[in-house]
Amino acid sequence: MDLLDVIRDLVFVQGISGYEDDIRSRVIEYLKKFGEPKVDKLGNVYLTLGDGDEHIAFMAHMDEIGLVVAHIEENGFIRLKRLGGVDVRMLYGQYFEVFTKDGKRIPGVIGLKPPHISTESEMKNAPPIEDLYLDVGASSREEVISMGISILDPVRWMKQFHVLNGRYIVTRGLDDRAGCAILINLIERLKGKKLKKKVTFIFTLQEETGLRGAKAITERDIDELYAIDSVSSGDIPKVDYYLSPVSLGKGPVIRFIDARGANSISLKRKVEEIASRNKINIQEVFTGGSTDAAGTFDLGIPSIALCFPIRYTHTTVEMSSIEDIEALINLLEKIVQG
């Protein structure tokens, strides 16, 4: 399978945090080509290859940030609530889709009060989400309901997918659909090979709303666990690079410390040694936010996050280097080989 095609495919599947049914089904479709995936009671997905005394695991989260319908006004405008780290600046002037219970995708927009009728103060400040509303072209609450929209329906940005200069993927949702694609590609590479250890691949839910899937994984007899996720790069104009000294195109990233604290120092040293031995360029960073590695570390499983850098994290134009993603897959394969 072509890596870029898998990333593109996964990106467009619905699956905001808490509403992972569709993306889980798509991941399972891919995994069935390599084995018999299992799903736990919460909805995390597992596939195991190989056998042996040593058990390692790789993990990526299926969910992404988004919105939900919170209230429908009598005039037909829809109020929204955020799921995950949604920056309000990424909302107004954007196209969205409401995913209804009967499978419809209803387009809508979040508009913005035009400058012609705004005060000087309003022009200088981003409106809070409480002042925003989704316009689906309805003139009454009844009309909205007749379209199939109801309270708590998930809402997501309409997406585009581009490759810039032949090197950089740009889309909404690379965090962490690219991570899921990385694991699927790694499974494809490993399938049919004689593995000296047991290797489990885990696709988790609700990472963006508290690492909740990772904290509840049913596989606990794991010796090493690597969370495959993104990390914000600081290679942007007018950004103090030291805040996240990571650049696109300079290799995968060991995200050893984040807002939740440090993870496994022994795994950090192991990855550094494997990368050096195989001449794979890596970057290392202490940054904000967190990953599923923190959730499984709390379970007592030695864990660490290995990441691909992203510019413009949690925006509609997340950007990552194809070269970094491929290098990360190579690194993971070397980890399996020991």
Per-residue pLDDT tens over the stretch 37-53 = 999 999 999 999 998 89
Write out the two tokens for 22.
Answer: 């569709």
Instruction: Using the predicted structure, report yes or no on whether residue 226 has a pLDDT greater than 80.
Output: yes
Mean per-residue pLDDT over the chain, rounded: 95
Query: pLDDT grade, residue 95 (50/70/90)?
Result: very high
Instruction: Using the predicted structure, report yes or no on whether residue 204 has a pLDDT greater than 90.
Output: yes
| pLDDT for 122 | 66
* CA distance linking residue 247 with residue 319, whole number of Å: 11
Residue 41, burial from CB neighbour count under 10 angstroms (0-12, 13-18, 19+): exposed
Segment 127-153, tens digit of pLDDT: 788 889 999 999 999 999 999 999 999
What average pLDDT score do residues 95-108 get?
97
Instruction: Using the predicted structure, report yes or no on whether residue 225 has a pLDDT greater than 80.
Output: yes
What average pLDDT score do residues 75-86 get?
96
Q: Which of 201, 203, 213 is nearest to 296 (CA)?
A: 213
Percentage of the chain beyond pLDDT 70 is: 99
Segment 12-24, tens digit of pLDDT: 999 999 999 999 9
Domain ranges for the chain, please list them.
Answer: 3-64+172-337, 66-157
Collect all residues with Cβ–Cβ distance below 8 Å to 90 and sequence separation of at least 6. 157, 314, 315, 316
- Establish whether 73 is a catalytic residue: no
- The catalytic position among 64, 97, 207, 318 is 207
Instruction: Using the predicted structure, report yes or no on whether residue 117 has a pLDDT greater than 90.
Output: no
Q: Is the pTM of this model over 0.85?
A: yes
For domain 66-157, the CATH architecture is Beta Barrel (2.40)
Superfamily of domain 3-64+172-337, CATH level 4:
Zn peptidases (3.40.630.10)
